[in-house]
Amino acid sequence: MSLGAFLAALQRYLPADRILSHPAALAAYESDALTAFRQRPLAVAVPETQDEVIATVRLCHQHRMPFVARGSGTSLSGGSLPVKDGIVIALNRLNRILKVDITQRFAVVEAGVINLDITRAVAHSGLLFAPDPSSQPICTIGGNIAFNSGGAHCLKYGMTSNHILGLKVVLPDGEVAHLGSESLENVDADWVGLFVGSEGLFGIALEATVRLLPKPETYRTLLAAYRSMEAAGDTVSAIIASGLLPGALEIMDNLSIQAAEAAVKAGYPTDAAALLIVELEGERAQVEAEWERLQVIIERSRPYLVKVAQTEEERLKIWKGRKSAFSAVGRLSSDYIVQDGVVPRRRLGEALARIDQLSAKWGIRVANVFHAGDGNLHPLIMFDGRQPGALERAEALAGEIIDLCIELGGSITGEHGVGMEKRRYMPRQFGQVDLEAMQRLRRAIDPLELANRGKVFPEGEPPALHHVGPHPLERAGVISRE
Amino acid sequence: MSEKTDAHEATPVATQDVSALCEAVRCASRVCARGASTKLPCAEGTATVLDLTKLSGVIDYQPTEFVIQVWAGTPVRAVQMLLAEHGQYLPFDPLLIEQGATIGGTVAANANGPERYRYGGVRDFIIGVHFIDGEGHHLAGGGKVVKNAAGFDFPKLLVGSRGRLGVITDVTFKVFPKPEAYATLRLTCAHLAEALNMLPKLTNCPYDLNAVDVVAEAERECVELRVRVGGLRGGLAARMDRVRALVGGGEIVSGEDEETLWREAREFTWLPKGACVVKVPLTPARIPALDAQLRGYARRYSVGGTVAWIAAEDIGAIDALLRAQDLPGLVMLRSLQEPRIGARLPNPFAERVKAALDPHNKFGDL
């Protein structure tokens, strides 16, 4: 296959200014939010219509050209990292909201539409699109679909997959398939459910029919400070055992509290060993009844300080500290790795104690911020990339934390996906026979392995590591991580 | 036990040994997994029937995790009773519990009831699965934690797969706290149109509603709107008053009468004797045209008007009607014919998935 012939053929479908092949233009596509990996693609195609995407994919198939679909490049697992001998199909301009049906509570949007823009388009009618990854001001729905993105409200509302009703997709050989419908219900196997979270290996979602929910009538948010992590963890268990179903349950450790406080002055007590954030939401009368029950539990858990958000402004301040925790930790350390393991909720305390031990053993600082409601940990492993061997040591510690999550009965990833970053850990979570079945499935859909080659499955040589730390957009304060 | 037979009489294999089930799949040419036979028949020409009712029991239940893992042949009723002891439930409102429906069948038939309206269907609560593919491999998908992004989502894929992609052996669900109390508003509307006009008011309001159904009887013009609300006891009365104010009237029922209304829906006791039921996924805007052809049929528009349940004896007539309106359908209960009726589009994605998981078509066409 010659690149020249491919690009010449591509020009039949795309104007020259939307085919990037100059090294300077390609540099912007070398990496996503997992900046540890860099790879320059051969070229970048920038289609603006679904037909252009389909034509590009067909051409790739004809020329056996591997391709990687990319939205805003916010993947934390290297999911949109280019392949050396392939092209990137950039979907940001495929960004029309095709239909908004307020009465029937759904919208049809193209893959490049920004997550938050869906909610913005329907907010006037009191509706919202529930999935809320922290990168929602810039990440695209296509990327959310490929990686089944999460957020802070997954226990109650589920992940992206739970909010996708239908999909129009182009398979890796250019054939187009329609999956699901506009209805909540279905009489066939859940093809949409399989496609969502397939990390780009099954092709490219062109448009999605998404479910919209009424915005909760009211929120009640509190923050409780504890002298020990154990006490905060026990409180989470007590809340769950009481039959309450909070919209969000988050915990931060001392290091993250201090970092967040220094960064945004959220009013957090900096001497707390652990901070617990609880948010109830829903219909007013129900929330008030739940709130009474919650206060009894919190009182019994003996926090040394409780703050209740009295106004919407105070509520947002509590969240601002939490949402800025990752970028704030970036101030404490030039480089860090974000982990995304999951453990059963009842083993959170044990997991955190063991992470502390590992941190001490390696002499590497680890800050902890996590979605306590669903057991999703986000340890931030801090290191100085200028010191020889520091990255390798940090990665070794990260590997031990992943092993710990598996040992405790959890998962290697809660919401960031496998991508490049965690593919070598897949055999720790799945058996050989399971991985082979996934490979068979992948090859039945894409025999040439053109779509997002090199991701998810543990094979191939990883590209060179360069740098680990905040994404340039994160440094600029545009995005934050969960 | 796994010999091929050409006769219509299938050989049942009843075992609690998963490796024996795998072996049976490997040896047979046509296989059908069967639970309590409450919903769907085995595909025609099935040589070997795998009776999964012995593959029963709870594997793991951690109430504080909101997670339960059970064998596929476990009766749903047993699971709901165990969960209820800890104040929890399967929020998708599984169907035909009293008739013995099993967990595996509930997943394979995607059998959601009216309360699916509040938090979602089987797809929204299944987090892990083990199943046997068409080559006899016992495969795992998902896991036992409520949030998990690793690997392809086999658990969701199998929801509604009707046994045509694999034999489900166990399932892990996320569960939720069960509402402490329920109440239902019943409102009689002179015409269906009146009830349909009411729907968006209910489905778009910020009240937390558990079910929104419209009940239409065969011989009557008037229909009944039913709105179910659940939650903590305190606050429920106030919430019901708001619902009544929103729709402008109606009767509020609670206690046993209220339970009976929804039990009737879940168990399909409203069907005329001997009738099957056809499930039709749709949106509220499609209802008027469909309903215009359904006078004379008992029918319900459930889950805020996103699914129709039609009582039918002549499936051929419903099939033709659905095709004409470009709607899909699934025949459930007491029917021995192919259950998938109505409109169908070619689906190349589905064909490729089928080829990977069941290359010799042992489980029957999709």
Strand (E) or helix (H) holding B61? strand B58-62
Which regions of A259-343 does DSSP assign to beta strands (E)? 274-282, 305-308, 335-338
Residue B176: its chain A contacts at CB < 8 A? 245
Determine contact: B67 vs chain A, CB below 8 A: yes
**CATH number, position A342:** 3.30.70.2740
Residues written for chain B: 366
Determine contact: A154 vs chain B, CB below 8 A: yes
Task: Report if residue A478 sits inside a domain.
Answer: no
Of B110, B141, B147, the CB nearest to A415: B147
Nearest Cα of chain A lies from the Cα of B202 at a distance, in angstroms, of 10
What span, in angstroms and rounded, lies between the C-alpha atoms of B142 and B242? 41
* Residue in B110, B148, B157, B365 to test binding to A, most A beta-carbons within 10 Å: B148
Per-residue pLDDT at B222: 95
Cβ A35 vs Cβ A471: under 8 Å: yes
What span, in angstroms and rounded, lies between the C-alpha atoms of B281 and B325? 12
Residue A193: its chain B contacts at CB < 8 A? 123, 153, 155-157, 159
Arithmetic mean of pLDDT over chain B? 93
Record: contact B352-A444, CB cut-off 8 A: yes
Cβ B102 vs Cβ B76: under 8 Å: yes
Q: Is B8 exposed, middle or buried (0-12, 13-18, 19+ CB in 10 A)?
A: exposed
Instruction: Provide the residue type at A187 as one letter.
Output: V
Record: contact A344-B162, CB cut-off 8 A: no
Record: contact A441-B353, CB cut-off 8 A: yes
Helix (H, G, I), strand (E, B) or coil at B300: strand
The residue-averaged pLDDT of A197-220 equals 97
- Higher pLDDT residue, A306 or A424? A306
The residue-averaged pLDDT of A163-190 equals 97
**CATH number, position A308:** 3.30.70.3450
Arithmetic mean of pLDDT over chain A? 91
**CATH number, position A101:** 3.30.465.10
Per-residue pLDDT at B1: 34
Residue B249's closest CA among B198, B215, B180, B307? Answer: B198
CATH T-level assignment (fold) for domain B181-342: Vanillyl-alcohol Oxidase; Chain A, domain 3 (3.40.462)
Range 9-48 of B in CB contact (< 8 A) with A:
none
Last residue of a domain, one of A323, A357, A382: A323
Per-residue pLDDT at B3: 36
Last residue of a domain, one of A154, A185, A214: A214
Record: contact B158-A169, CB cut-off 8 A: no
The residue-averaged pLDDT of B57-85 equals 96
Per-residue pLDDT at B6: 40
Instruction: Provide the residue type at B168 as one letter.
Output: I
If asked whether residues A102 and A191 sit together in one domain, one would say: yes
Per-residue pLDDT at A471: 52
Determine contact: A457 vs chain B, CB below 8 A: no
Nearest Cα of chain B lies from the Cα of A128 at a distance, in angstroms, of 11
DSSP state of A117: H
- Report whether pLDDT(A330) > 80: no
If asked whether residues A310 and A338 sit together in one domain, one would say: no
- Report whether pLDDT(A118) > 70: yes
Q: Is A174 exposed, middle or buried (0-12, 13-18, 19+ CB in 10 A)?
A: middle
Report domain extents, chain B: 56-177, 181-342
Q: Of A291-300, A409-418, B243-252, which gets the smallest average pLDDT?
A: A409-418
Task: Classify residue B41 as left (phi > 0), alpha (psi -120 to 50) or beta.
Answer: beta
Determine contact: A178 vs chain B, CB below 8 A: yes
The boundaries of the domain holding residue A12 are 3-93
CB atoms closer than 10 angstroms to residue A244: 18
Residues written for chain A: 482
Record the tokens describing residue A42, joined without a space. Answer: 């051969």
If asked whether residues A194 and A132 sit together in one domain, one would say: yes
Per-residue pLDDT at A465: 41
What span, in angstroms and rounded, lies between the C-alpha atoms of B42 and B163? 9
What span, in angstroms and rounded, lies between the C-alpha atoms of B78 and B57? 9
The residue-averaged pLDDT of B35-58 equals 88
Of B153, B160, B349, the CB nearest to A186: B160
Per-residue pLDDT at B84: 97
- Report whether pLDDT(A106) > 70: yes
The residue-averaged pLDDT of A403-425 equals 90
Total number of domains in chain A: 4
If asked whether residues A56 and A83 sit together in one domain, one would say: yes
Record: contact B348-A409, CB cut-off 8 A: no
Record the tokens describing residue A112, joined without a space. Answer: 């490049």
Record: contact B152-A374, CB cut-off 8 A: no
Per-residue pLDDT at B149: 87
Per-residue pLDDT at B10: 57
Residue B146's closest CA among A196, A158, A172, A134? Answer: A158
ipTM summary value:
0.96
Q: What is the largest CA-CA distance in chain A?
A: 72
At A462, the pLDDT band (50, 70, 90 cuts) reads very low
Please tell me if the domain spanning B56-177 has the same topology as the one spanning B181-342: no
**CATH number, position A87:** 3.30.43.10
Which residue of chain A comes nearest to B358, CA vs CA? Answer: A441
Cβ A204 vs Cβ A53: under 8 Å: yes
Cβ A344 vs Cβ A409: under 8 Å: yes
At A90, the pLDDT band (50, 70, 90 cuts) reads very high
Task: Report if residue A201 sits inside a domain.
Answer: yes
Buried b or exposed e, range A77-104, using 16+ CB within 10 angstroms = bbbbbbbeebbbbbbbebbebeebebeb
Record the tokens describing residue B353, joined without a space. Answer: 């998935």
What span, in angstroms and rounded, lies between the C-alpha atoms of A20 and A5? 15
Of A162, A177, A413, the CB nearest to B347: A177
Q: Which residues contact A429 (CB under 8 A, 6 or more apart)?
A: A406, A411, A412, B143, B150, B151
Residue B181: its chain A contacts at CB < 8 A? none
The residue-averaged pLDDT of A443-458 equals 95
- Higher pLDDT residue, A133 or B336? A133
If asked whether residues A114 and A188 sit together in one domain, one would say: yes
If asked whether residues A145 and A111 sit together in one domain, one would say: yes
Last residue of a domain, one of A36, A62, A93: A93
Task: Report if residue A462 sits inside a domain.
Answer: no
Record: contact B157-A371, CB cut-off 8 A: no
Record: contact A214-B154, CB cut-off 8 A: no
Task: Report if residue A26 sits inside a domain.
Answer: yes
Cβ A182 vs Cβ A106: under 8 Å: yes
Angle made by CA atoms B65, B68, B72, in degrees to the nearest 5: 165
CATH class of B56-177: alpha beta
Spell out the alpha helix ranges (H) of chain B. Answer: 18-27, 76-85, 103-108, 116-119, 122-125, 154-158, 192-203, 236-247, 255-267, 287-292, 315-324, 348-357
Record: contact B352-A127, CB cut-off 8 A: no
Cβ A364 vs Cβ A393: under 8 Å: yes
